[in-house]
Chain A
Amino acid sequence: MCLSQHFWQFLIPGITLGCLYALIAIGYTLVYGVLQLINFAHSEVFMTGGFAGLFLVQALVTTGVTPHGTESVLYVVLGICCGAIFGGIVAFLLERVAYRPLRRRNAPRLIYLITAIGASLFLFNLAGKLFGRDKVNVPELYTNGVVFTVFGAQVRVQQIIIVCTALGMMLMLDAVVNRTKLGAGIRAVAQDSQTASLMGVNINRVISQTFVIGGLLGGAAGFLFGTYLNVHYQMGFLPGIKAFAAAVLGGIGNIRGAMIGGLLLGIVESLSQSCMSSQWIDVVAFVVLILVLMFRPTGILGQRLGRAA
């Protein structure tokens, strides 16, 4: 059996990738929860985060020297923050410029989707024009050594950083959505936006905040993904589709579902690498999406559009 031989070698990268998918999937699921809209441009929020973090890190790190110790920690944290902030800004602007005018005139969903795909096309091609269309590697921020081994599989510093950051952000998000007033607002709008507005919830503000939260997570994921592979103007496209598949897998509109779905999809994708040639890996997410739609369209945890938790 192809799985048994390298199970652990493929599981560790799978978890890493899965955490990144989960971070992006949360952005889709949050927006879907409050607006019932597939935000195609979310993959460009991810791409912006990658570029923003890359530029900051390039400006900070002297070429050819790999920083270490506190310097490394500082650069990684700054890169993540920079990616997150720019991701949030782009998501905010998207909502303001593209979606809010549509919402104001109660446009059909088809119009939203076309706007979203148009904004996505515009943004990634603008990035390609501004920053070139070649793949750029993020300079090394730390020596990517092996920390420990699990059943013969090596766990590297990079994987630990990605998994810990992602898990931390997800825990924080969970707390924000379930415990704070802001989260209560998001849940209220997701349940019934009209009633929420009668209860004094400022819907426009809540939707803006939802986009910004999704953008923060997506932007941070963009930078982490950049350090994992590379930064490229079309880097958002495939992770975007896969993260959406993950969101559907977990149950769209369900934040915990998106986390679990992302993690699961990353693991499945990585494990299937041991059974088939790596050229066909991108097929896996799509097959998962179709299978979920056929057999359990509400996802693992079920759609909880009413309760965005």
Chain B
Amino acid sequence: MSQVGGLPVRVKRSRKVDPRLVRLFGWLVLGALLRLMTVTTEGTATDHTLVLDAAFKSTALIWWLLGAVAVWALTELWRARKVGSLVSDRTAGARKQWRTVSDRKLTRQLAVLALVLAALIIPNLMSEFYQRVLVDQVAVFVLLAVGLNVVVGWSGLLDLGYIAFFAIGAYTTAYFTGSLPVTPGFRLNPFVILPIAVIVCLIAGLLLGAPTLRLRGDYLAIVTLGFHEIVQLFLVNKNNWTGGNQGVSKPIPHFSINIFGIHYQWTLDSMPYWYLFMGMLAIVVFLFARLEHSKVGRSWTAIREDEVAAAASGVPTVKYKLMAFSIGASTSGLAGVLYGSRLGYINPASFPVVLSITVLSYVIFGGMGAIIGVIAGAALLTFLPAVFQEQNLVRQEDIPMWIGAILVVMMLFRPQGLIPSRRRRRELRLAQQGIADADAMSEAPEGRQ
């Protein structure tokens, strides 16, 4: 107690813990958590402490904790010496130079050309296993991620039922190729089904988005999550239509060309499918790149940055949000056709809810809003788990856990992603200062129509 003007005043002495110690504690907890996550033992319902024991009653824990202390010591040293600002001072000139070079149109065109050549040549040198990974995982998910980027990256909405449209696309293919218990009476080539599936998914997207997007944008997240669940239920329970849990009754035929005297039949071989996927991806990326700087793309940017201002300037925000959502949905349907035809067999378990969030994490990881970043993120995050699994480093069941962790860590430390779109990064920075929104989550300013 001390006296202030004759009155006894209790002075609260704040006991501040050294922030360095707090950070050490954080690193130690992180080390222990990582140890727990990397254990390959799988828990059972009978023994609840099995995994905990395996993780913490072994010498490996000590190494993880020592590693955490080492990282802590390094970061503290980095902080104390102010290495970060030193490095950024030293490299300022080089970075500026890099920016001017990388901004040149020629450099960009060369980079794209190099990427395309790499995509066409490198897979030929890989083993059969990795070629299959490339087609079944990387190509499909890159296409999906590019589509989801329109919804999340450009229009700033959150779609958690994205894979439902993928399923709709795949099952549309199964229907029109006569592979389901219920058949249309004729069989179409998967090439013909591509536009049909796109239109079906477009309509499904409009029907789902219309009642939701008139209201708050964030409701879309939970409505799409529920929609995915409904599609799953439908696929599982409507046995006489979809084949239920057993999946399609007859294999879905492969793509084939049979016009103007040209005959070509895709087979189980991976490389022809790889070229087909790359062709589709090229078309989609080209269209989307055109869209980004068109009137539509600029409207999305305006809505993201300030929905009220956009509406006041005459941008019909609900219409454009709906457009983005259904364009994303139809891209997902397109990927579904390719996927269904490539694998030949699909069942409801091929389209779990978790997959939607997985695709979301590819978009986030790569850098939402930047096509090149999204492609890189999806390619990296689909290829690496396949490598880890082949080396038996990670169990397949644990991958969703890592995906969740990646999402949280990216959002906390690098929300703009690995290769960010410059516009998006600027928006996120402005949002920190309370200037822009950087998403389309608020109530539609036109009011309810």
Contacts and interface: CB of A to CB of B under 8 A. Distances in A.
A binds B: yes
Interface of A: 37-38, 40, 55, 98, 101-102, 105-111, 113-115, 117-123, 125-126, 128-136, 237-238, 241, 244-245, 248, 277, 279-280, 282-283, 285-286, 289-290, 293-294, 297
Given A114-B364, A293-B219, A108 B226 contact: no
A55 B412 contact: no
Contacts of A101: 412
The prevalent SS among residues of B at the interface is helix
Given A113-B218, A115-B407, A125-B400, A106 B439 contact: no
B127 interface: no
Contacts of B36: 126, 130
B438 interface: yes
Given A108-B441, A110-B438, A241-B229, A125 B404 contact: yes
Contacts of A122: 401, 404-405, 407-408
A279 B42 CA distance: 31
B396 to A, nearest CB: 12
Interface of B: 36-37, 42-46, 48, 51-52, 152, 156-158, 160, 211-212, 215, 218-219, 221-223, 225-227, 229-230, 233, 236-237, 353-354, 357, 360-361, 364, 397-398, 400-401, 403-408, 411-412, 415, 427-428, 431-434, 437-439, 441-442, 448
B236 to A, nearest CB: 8
Nearest to B52: A130
Nearest to A295: B211
Contacts of A297: 215, 448
A285 B226 contact: yes
A241 B404 contact: no
12 contacts: A40-B221, A106-B431, A113-B441, A115-B408, A117-B158, A122-B405, A126-B401, A130-B51, A136-B45, A245-B226, A280-B233, A290-B212
B398 A129 contact: yes
B229 A118 contact: no
Contacts of B401: 121-122, 125-126, 128-129
B45 A134 contact: yes
A293 B211 contact: yes
B354 A121 contact: yes
A130 to B, nearest CB: 5
A234 to B, nearest CB: 9
A247 to B, nearest CB: 10
B403 A132 contact: no
Given A37-B218, A129-B43, 7 more contacts: A107-B432, A108-B156, A117-B221, A134-B44, A135-B45, A248-B219, A279-B233
Contact of A286 (B37, B226, B361, B437): B226
- Lowest 9 CB-CB distances: which A-B pairs, in order? A118-B407, A122-B404, A121-B404, A110-B439, A125-B401, A108-B438, A286-B226, A109-B441, A132-B45
A118 B361 contact: yes
A293 B408 contact: no
Contacts of A125: 397-398, 400-401, 404
Contacts of A245: 222, 226
Contacts, number: 171
A191 B354 CA distance: 35
The prevalent SS among residues of A at the interface is helix
B51 A119 contact: no
A114 B158 contact: yes
Contacts of B411: 102, 107, 111, 114-115, 118
A110 B403 contact: no
Given A108-B437, A130-B43, A132-B44, A293 B412 contact: no
Nearest to A112: B411
Contact of A283 (B43, B233, B403): B233
Contacts of A286: 223, 226-227, 229-230
A128 B215 contact: no
B43 A132 contact: yes
Contacts of B37: 126, 129
Contacts of A108: 156, 427-428, 431, 437-439, 441
Contacts of A283: 230, 233
